[in-house]
A and B are shown apart, each in its own frame.
Chain A
Amino acid sequence: MTPAWILDIFAGLMLVVAAVSAARLVAARPWQRGSLLIDTDVAHLLMAIAMAGMLASSLGTLSNTGWDVVFALMTAWFAFRVFVDARANGIRALAGGHCAPHLTHSAAMLYMFAAVTARAANGSGMSGMGGPSASAMEALRYPTLAFAFALILIGYSIRDIDQLSGRRYSSAPARVPLARVAVAIPAMAGAAAATATLPGPRATELAGGNGIPAGSATVEVAGSGSGSGGSAVGGILLSPAVTVGCRITMGVTMALMLLLII
């Protein structure tokens, strides 16, 4: 049996990810007019809470059915985002786009909650993988799928570590270019217009070099970003590196959980 204290460490990491994601959401000020509601941070927050609940028997969260619904919706949402991304940027979006990892994370969570049958009578959450009767409590359907998910998550995590160290993701606060840059993305969800905040060079890069198909909607890059007005700490909190750091931590932990339940 994997010692409970090891699982507790991973659960603790998940709580840190949840706290960071919650702080990012607060720093983004979603209650203000025109502010951002960042889907990936919402996803990280929910997944981290769910995983902490699965890893630590003392943490009670939602019921399995509740999490099933949450992650089914999340999977559908990111599947839609990947579809849109793939239409705009081609099939490479499946491997290189930032929505694909979130889709994999969501689907893996959905799988874990749907495929693992908790025998605990209380039915609240998964009662912790490190619980006293954990190994006998859970029976896994489709272990091959768990292995496949784990491999994909490991692949994404390794790629993220490489790119984090390769300075693809800045730890500097997200800044917004002063210039308004028009970037084309496909029309999504009937939105007439969209607004994006891009770092200057990247905006130019996207606008100039991505071969975005004609006939797509226009995104205006303008205004002040969520991090521009905040403190330095808030800016760092909202930096891409923090998001990717959370994603690496979650990906590795999720892969571990999938392998543990095989």
Chain B
Amino acid sequence: MSGVAVAGGRTAWRGRLGTEAQPAGRRLDARRALQLGLAASWLLDALLQYQSFMYGKGFTQMIGGTGAGNPSVIARPITWNATLVSHHQVLANTVFATVQLLLGAGIAFRPTLRVALAASIAWALGVWWFGEGLGGVLSGAASPFNGAPGAVLIYALLAVLLWPADREMAAPFTAARAVGAHVARALWLVLWLSLAYFALTPANRAPQSLNGMIASMESGQPGWLSAIDRGAATLVANQGLAASIVLAIALVVIAVGVYLPPSAAKVTLVLAIVVALVIWVVGEALGAILTGGGTDPNSGPLLVLLALAYWPITAVTAPAPSASAGGKAA
């Protein structure tokens, strides 16, 4: 905080500089930084959930539509939920938004970190089923370019991997601290191999499949994003099979990358970040946020966050000081 003081007939600078200044030499723990990234994602989701579109019929239709193609045991609760939301739209949507607001704030607020992370896992799994129809995994609609296996599932995965506990004192990467390197690598492998599988499903390798998917995102976007989508759609027109194979190969390389030596793993993680950004911009059109109808930024930024959690660390990770996260490691 600072200000200008007029004293003694002259203008002088005054500043209570210390009240807000950054303490020297203090660095943010990598896991805490990633937790804050997750918190920011929840907060963004919450604010998007307060948008006008979410209080209209479009939102309930979107929820109800996720049940299509799913087994009835999955689809029926989705339909029930969509009906319930449509009957109490204002209340339900406000609760959804506020819960996400509390999750974001709770993760950022150190004393409530564990509670908020645990709640976020439960919430994310609920939304994955009732709001995203399990990401289209069982309906055959899942594609790496439309957020498979469900963006909200990655929130839950991140919450697990960034849990404030230290199973391995000398973790090779941040995600291994809470669950151990073997489990963390296995989770990464399953996620990215599943993406590779979805890239090669018949629906996604059809000649015009990718073209149609990208072209459908163009509507309502600002000019620069429309232009990117148009160009990308033209590039993959009638090239669905070739594009799917190239994408699947890249995804498999990324999947096995965490088992490679650190220097090679870094290369594959950079590839993961690049692929995630391409998916986010081209396939997901930034989660359709710029159209005013996006409920979340979709999977792209979360995949980037996840990749950063697997970035090899050279120094031994020491447990965070007791001041953080309710007296335990953050």
Interface residues of A, Cβ cutoff 8 Å to B: 1-3, 6, 33-41, 81, 92, 96-98, 135, 142-144, 147, 150-151, 154-155, 157-159, 161-162, 164-169, 174, 183, 185, 188-189, 191-199, 202-203, 205-206, 208-210, 219, 225, 239-240, 243-244, 252, 255-256, 259-260, 262
Q: A167-B323, A198-B18 are in contact. Are A34 and B109 (CB under 8 A)?
A: no
Q: Which of A36, A189, A219 has the most CB of B within 10 A?
A: A36
Q: Is the CB of A36 within 8 A of B14?
A: yes
Q: Is the CB of A195 within 8 A of B12?
A: yes
Neighbouring B residues of A259 by C-beta, 8 Å: 47-48, 50-51, 289
15 contacts between A and B (CB under 8 A): A96-B22, A98-B21, A144-B224, A147-B286, A150-B47, A154-B43, A162-B109, A165-B109, A197-B16, A199-B18, A202-B19, A202-B21, A209-B24, A240-B1, A255-B43
- Pick from A37, A144, A198, A255: contact of B3, CB under 8 Å: A37
Q: Does B56 contact A (CB under 8 A)?
A: yes
The 4 closest A-B pairs by CB, nearest first: A202-B18, A198-B18, A209-B24, A194-B13
How many residues on the B side are at the interface (Cβ–Cβ under 8 A)? 56
Q: A2-B55, A97-B22, A196-B16 are in contact. Are A262 and B323 (CB under 8 A)?
A: no
Q: Is the CB of A262 within 8 A of B289?
A: yes
A-B contact count (CB 8 A): 179
Question: Chain A nearest CB: distance from B259 CB in Å?
Answer: 33
Neighbouring B residues of A98 by C-beta, 8 Å: 1, 20-21
Neighbouring B residues of A135 by C-beta, 8 Å: 52
Task: Determine the residue in chain A with the shortest Cβ distance to B4.
Answer: A37
* 13 other A-B residue contacts (CB within 8 Å) besides A36-B14, A97-B22, A169-B19: A33-B7, A36-B3, A98-B20, A147-B286, A162-B36, A205-B24, A206-B24, A243-B1, A243-B19, A252-B101, A259-B50, A259-B51, A262-B291
Q: A1-B52, A162-B109, A166-B323 are in contact. Are A196 and B44 (CB under 8 A)?
A: no
Q: Is the CB of B16 within 8 A of A189?
A: no
Report the Cα distance A199→B22, complex, angstroms: 13
Q: A39-B3, A162-B108 are in contact. Are A191 and B11 (CB under 8 A)?
A: yes
Q: A39-B3, A151-B44, A262-B290 are in contact. Are A205 and B36 (CB under 8 A)?
A: no
Q: Is the CB of B19 within 8 A of A199?
A: yes
Report the Cα distance A161→B90, complex, angstroms: 28
Q: Is the CB of B11 within 8 A of A183?
A: no
Neighbouring A residues of B48 by C-beta, 8 Å: 259
Neighbouring A residues of B71 by C-beta, 8 Å: none
Question: Chain B nearest CB: distance from A46 CB in Å?
Answer: 14
